[in-house]
């Protein structure tokens, strides 16, 4: 004991010493912390710093390229391609080669004049330093000069910024009888300018570089991006050939790197004809014009060159805008012009021809867009892009000039082609009336389906389950009251709900939406499921109220008798789900409860055979024992124990998961068997009817 006390006393003393020491340290840390915080909070003249050289891009690539991910990397590639395109459009070279290399690098080759990289007396520096290493330097700042009247690049950033953002870059330039070569690594020049005489006839530039994964989080720009960009540039640069070689993708036919070329001799007119195809309401109409003006009174005039090509179609819709060869994904000024001009001219025609009904509302651009295939390409000597990514322009004069240009040519077109004008305007009027009808239907459906209701009380004969966990809940769709009684008495009421349907429901593939939503059975079933509907078709996209998150069940089980009537009811329910809620089928929520065909009873046990081969196998297994065999009764005649065993029990039931393996084939089969394709149905029965003779129920 004394020894023990001594030990305890010792520990206490040590702890006390430790406590004092820690207290002292804590006090010192607080003092040091206050001193450190005071030092950190100092904000003086030396606190201001600037990024210099390559760090201006390498540390903040998103400022220049719009992103530090694969989108930004893709835009850096476009910057180099756009410089070559500016050369070609200015009349220097008619071919550009782009290669996506195996190692992730990119090669852009043009046959223009070649970049001036030698000594510049005016700047007192070599031009290669200005072009590759100086932000806001280039040959596109002089307005009204001969070089690049209409250029895609305006800011003098693209080449320099891409060089700064590269792991390495090489440049080979052919001009003035010399071959110039430059090497860069991580934004810095290596070895200066190498210059040697060149006796060949070619001119132009070859830029080869690899985007740096230290700058961009992802440098694997997909081949589809190159194809899309180069195709678009071929569209708006008539006669220019763009060749693309992808060393990362093999041509299945040859086993060599994928190669593709684009060239549109007539530019946007050829492109509109290609997109629209042959079956159009009107042929392609194209027009061009120029204008001079200014965005504001105190700013200088600039030139705008405008071109548009369009046709009208009931099968294809397209709106694309280009400015200085850049695809304007977000539109801006050209989009405002087309909206204003087309609505104005078509509305004017409808009024003059008295095609509006009394009190009818005017058309909107949506009604025009539903049948319009339109591409515009404009150029200007001054351009205000929203940002460096060039996805929209904001020039007020471009918007005004293009609006006047389109109004004028639409008026001329309508006067010269009165039959086509009538077709166009009547189709737009039909689109408007369809849109308004669709909106009324949407509101009606929304009112019908979105009302908050107590399903157990408001949907007739629906029997809910107790759990509210949608991941466990199952909905059994059964035919008639008798089947509902049998299923109700045999189910697990914790998670199995029942929805009876009365007889054969409407064939939803042949009926229109107005008739479908007058069916109480269908509307009640949609209410019970809770997810709403998704409606297809050009004018029905806005009607959709579908939300998979609102589905109240994990399984939708169609449970019908194993006879001809049961199969037909099952097919009609599947048709309804296929048309109104196809996502439920595609995502695997829909099941069919397989009912046994035969009940085989022996002294010892009962077997349920779902197919003829199963029946034969059971009879072989029973052998010489006495047995009775009968065709299974309808669901309503089964006892609860049998229903639980064959249809409801997850351990012993058989459920067929409905999953379309091929969407197009599924649609074709539904159309033949249940749609308006009467000739196809007759042909199908003639070809395949004999295959089902053994399954006919002729008793």
Domains of the chain: 56-262 (3.30.565.10), 268-443 (3.30.230.10), 467-595+632-659 (3.40.50.670), 669-699 (no CATH)
Q: How far apart are CA 293 and CA 298, in angstroms?
A: 12
What residue has token string 């049948």? 371
Q: How far apart are CA 557 and CA 658, in angstroms?
A: 10
pLDDT at 611: 84
| Continuous segment of H or E residues that includes residue 402 | helix 396-416
CA angle 401, 405, 409 (to 5 degrees): 175
90-127 pLDDT per residue, tens: 889 999 999 999 999 999 999 999 999 999 998 899 99
Beta strands 331-332 and 392-393 are parallel
Burial zone of 304 (CB within 10 Å; 0-12 exposed, 13-18 middle, 19+ buried): buried
Q: How far apart are CA 409 and CA 580, in angstroms?
A: 44
Number of other residues whose CB lies within 10 A of the CB of residue 25: 10
Q: How far apart are CA 540 and CA 270, in angstroms?
A: 31
Can you say whether residue 556 is alpha, beta or left, with left for phi > 0 and alpha for psi between -120 and 50 degrees? beta
Record the tokens describing residue 495, joined without a space.
């998670």
Q: How far apart are CA 431 and CA 145, in angstroms?
A: 48
Record the tokens describing residue 693, joined without a space.
């003779």
Q: How far apart are CA 516 and CA 502, in angstroms?
A: 15
Record the tokens describing residue 464, joined without a space.
């809910």
Q: Which residues contact 194 (CB under 8 A, 6 or more apart)?
A: 180, 181, 182
Q: How far apart are CA 165 and CA 70, in angstroms?
A: 13
CA angle 603, 604, 608 (to 5 degrees): 95
What residue has token string 């081969």? 613
Number of other residues whose CB lies within 10 A of the CB of residue 622: 16
In the DSSP assignment, the letter for residue 136 is T
Q: How far apart are CA 143 and CA 151, in angstroms?
A: 11
Q: How far apart are CA 12 and CA 17, in angstroms?
A: 9
- Contact call for residues 310 and 273 (beta carbons, < 8 A): no
Number of other residues whose CB lies within 10 A of the CB of residue 93: 23
What is each CA distance from 45 to 41, 42, 56, in whole angstroms? 13, 10, 21
525-535 pLDDT per residue, tens: 988 898 888 87
Give every residue of the chain whose pLDDT is below 70, as ranges: 1-41, 138-156, 387-389, 446-458, 536-544, 633-634, 636, 661-667, 670, 674, 692-699
Record the tokens describing residue 637, joined without a space.
């005649």
pLDDT at 514: 78
- Contact call for residues 104 and 211 (beta carbons, < 8 A): yes
DSSP string, 368-391: HHTTEEEEEEEEESS--BSSTT--
- Give the largest Cα separation in the chain, rounded: 121
The SS3 of residue 265 is coil
422: which strand partners? Answer: none
CA angle 181, 184, 190 (to 5 degrees): 80
pLDDT at 364: 95
Nearest to 653 by CA among 596, 693, 598: 596
- Contact call for residues 296 and 305 (beta carbons, < 8 A): no
Q: Which residues contact 237 (CB under 8 A, 6 or more apart)?
A: 85, 88, 89, 267, 325
Number of other residues whose CB lies within 10 A of the CB of residue 262: 18
Q: How far apart are CA 444 and CA 402, in angstroms?
A: 41
DSSP string, 144-205: TSSTTSS-S--SS-HHHHHHHTEEEEEEEEEETTEEEEEEEETTEESS--EEEE--SS--EE
Q: Which residues contact 248 (CB under 8 A, 6 or more apart)?
A: 100, 101, 102, 223, 257
Record the tokens describing residue 164, joined without a space.
């700064």
């Amino acid at each position: 004991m004394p020894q023990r006390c001594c030990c305890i006393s010792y520990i206490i003393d040590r702890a006390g010493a430790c406590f004092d020491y820690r207290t002292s340290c804590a006090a010192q840390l607080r003092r040091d912390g206050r001193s450190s915080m005071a030092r950190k909070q100092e904000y003086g003249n030396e606190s201001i710093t600037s990024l210099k050289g390559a760090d201006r891009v390498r540390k903040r690539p998103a400022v220049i390229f719009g992103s530090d991910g694969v989108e930004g990397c893709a835009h850096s590639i476009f910057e180099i391609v756009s410089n070559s395109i500016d050369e070609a459009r200015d009349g220097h070279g008619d071919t550009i080669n782009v290669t996506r290399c195996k190692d992730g690098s990119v090669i852009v080759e043009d046959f223009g004049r070649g970049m001036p990289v030698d000594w510049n007396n005016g700047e007192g520096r070599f031009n290669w330093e200005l072009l590759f290493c100086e932000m806001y330097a280039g040959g596109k700042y002089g307005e009204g000069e001969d070089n690049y009247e209409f250029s895609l690049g305006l800011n003098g950033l693209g080449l320099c910024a891409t060089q700064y953002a590269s792991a390495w870059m090489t440049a080979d330039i052919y001009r003035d009888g010399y071959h110039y070569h430059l090497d860069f690594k991580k934004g810095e020049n290596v070895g200066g300018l190498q210059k040697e005489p060149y006796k060949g006839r070619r001119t132009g530039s070859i830029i080869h570089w690899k985007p740096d994964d230290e700058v961009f989080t992802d440098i694997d720009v997909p081949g589809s991006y190159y194809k899309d960009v180069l195709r678009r540039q071929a569209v708006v640069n008539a006669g220019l050939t763009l060749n693309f070689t992808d060393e990362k993708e093999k041509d299945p036919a040859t086993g060599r790197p994928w190669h593709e070329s684009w060239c549109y001799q007539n530019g946007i007119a050829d492109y509109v004809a290609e997109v629209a195809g042959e079956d159009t309401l009107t042929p392609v109409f194209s027009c061009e014009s120029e204008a001079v003006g200014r965005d504001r009174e105190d700013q200088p005039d600039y030139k705008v060159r405008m071109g548009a090509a369009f046709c009208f179609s009931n099968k294809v819709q397209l709106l694309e805008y280009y400015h200085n060869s850049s695809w304007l994904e977000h539109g801006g000024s050209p989009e405002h012009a087309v909206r204003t001009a087309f609505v104005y001219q078509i509305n004017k025609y409808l009024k003059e021809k008295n095609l509006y009904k009394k009190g009818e509302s005017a058309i909107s651009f949506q009604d025009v867009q539903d049948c319009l295939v339109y591409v515009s390409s404009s150029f200007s000597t001054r351009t205000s892009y929203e940002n460096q990514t060039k996805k929209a322009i904001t020039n007020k004069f471009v918007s005004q000039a293009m609006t006047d240009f389109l109004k004028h040519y639409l008026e001329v077109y309508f006067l010269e082609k009165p039959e086509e004008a009538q077709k166009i305007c009547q189709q737009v009027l039909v689109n408007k009336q369809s849109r308004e009808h669709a909106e009324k239907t949407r509101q009606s459906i929304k009112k019908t389906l979105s009302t908050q209701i107590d399903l157990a009380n408001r949907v007739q004969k629906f029997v809910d389950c107790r759990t509210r966990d949608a991941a466990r809940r199952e909905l059994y769709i059964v035919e008639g009251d008798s089947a509902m009684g049998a299923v109700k008495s045999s189910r697990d009421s914790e998670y199995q709900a029942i929805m009876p349907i009365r007889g054969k429901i409407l064939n939803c593939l042949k009926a229109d939406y107005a008739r479908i939503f007058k069916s109480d059975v269908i509307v009640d079933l949609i209410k019970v499921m809770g997810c709403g509907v998704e409606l297809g078709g050009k004018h029905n996209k806005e009607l959709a109220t579908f939300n998979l998150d609102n589905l109240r069940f994990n399984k939708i089980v169609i449970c019908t008798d194993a006879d001809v009537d049961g199969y037909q009811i099952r097919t009609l329910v599947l048709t309804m789900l296929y048309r109104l809620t196809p996502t439920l089928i595609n995502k695997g929520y829909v099941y069919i409860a397989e009912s046994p065909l035969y009940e085989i009873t022996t002294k010892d046990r009962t077997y349920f055979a779902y197919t003829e081969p199963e029946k034969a196998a059971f009879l072989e297994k029973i052998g010489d024992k006495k047995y009775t065999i009968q065709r299974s009764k309808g669901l309503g005649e089964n006892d609860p124990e049998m229903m639980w065993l064959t249809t409801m029990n997850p351990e012993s039931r058989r459920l067929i998961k409905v999953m379309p393996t091929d969407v197009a084939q599924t649609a074709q089969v539904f159309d033949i068997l249940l749609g308006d394709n009467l000739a196809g149905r007759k042909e199908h029965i003639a070809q395949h009817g004999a295959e089902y003779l053994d399954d006919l129920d002729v008793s």
